[in-house]
Structure 1
């Protein structure tokens, strides 16, 4: 049964990413070996239709089709520079327009995207299930403390 959702993250260099089901729940892992579409269409914010297959390593998306391209503007999750280039080691992030994001200035979705990038960079051996679980617990913690806007 096809599920509707959006692309949360896709890294063409690593060949995987995550899709968020429209009805909610955990993000679903997406791997290049399970798609037969142009990877360039898998930008954050693109609407997709996909089937979910359960594996021994967790849920993964198969039969992925892009139903609507990602919005052109950055506010809806469009293209952005690689985060590895944004690290300055000073406790502040600079957004793609050069402005600083102050503590508590990120919403939960933007925080989750930032956190996904950090987890993907941290360890190549993390599974999709581990990334989703860690990300959810940290996001809930940050929202509960008021560090991230819900």
Structure 2
């Protein structure tokens, strides 16, 4: 079955990356050998269609084809730090401090980038395990916007 998604990250030197499926769920691993287009064309944010198969370490994309540019990114809302109910009425609250409020998917993408940058020797399976545990914490503490 052919599905569509957006490239989260693709490292042409290492020859692999991840795709966020449009239908949601965990990102799908993609290897350079499964690309129909030149690896130099793949970059974060590009739309692709692919077939999902079960690889040795989980879901894997195959027969990956570029569809074109990414959809426009959702605008990030700015919210005051500490504006949640746990800080209401706090005397030391600084209403002028601002932070990005990310959707769950945006945070997952940022986390994937950070993990790959910080520990490039992680295998895809290790990266997915670490990211899954962090995302459980994020959900448990409502650190992202639905």
Name the larger-Rg structure.
2
Q: Which structure has the highest strand share of the two?
A: 2
Does residue 1:146 correspond to 2:145, yes or no?
no
Query: 1:90 matched to which residue of 2?
Result: none
Q: Which runs of 5+ in 2 are unaligned?
A: 76-96
Post-superposition CA distance 1:65-120 (Å, at most 9, x none): 1123224x5x359xxxxxxxxxxxxxxxxxxxxxx972x62222222122112221
Q: How has the CA–CA distance of structure 1 residues 25 and 105 changed in structure 2, closer, same or farther, with 3 Å as cutoff?
A: closer
Shift of 1:40: 4.4
Check 1:38–1:140 CA distance in 2 against 1; reply closer, same or farther (3 A cut): same
Taking a change above 3 Å as real, the CA distance of residues 53 and 148 of structure 1, as seen in their structure-2 partners, is: same
Distance across 1 between alignment mates of 2:98 and 2:14: 27
Tell me the secondary structure at the aligned position of residue 17 of structure 2: strand
| Residue 122 of structure 2 is aligned to residue 126 of structure 1 | yes
**C-alpha deviation, 1:131, in angstroms:** 1.7
CA contact (8 A) 1:57 1:127 kept: no
CA distance in 1, matches of 2:16, 2:98: 27
Map of 1:46 onto structure 2? 46
What TM-score does the superposition give when structure 1 sets the normalisation length? 0.67
TM-score normalised by structure 2 residue count = 0.69
Number of aligned residue pairs? 125
- Structural RMSD (CA): 2.6
Q: Structure 1: which 5+ residue stretches go unaligned?
A: 78-99
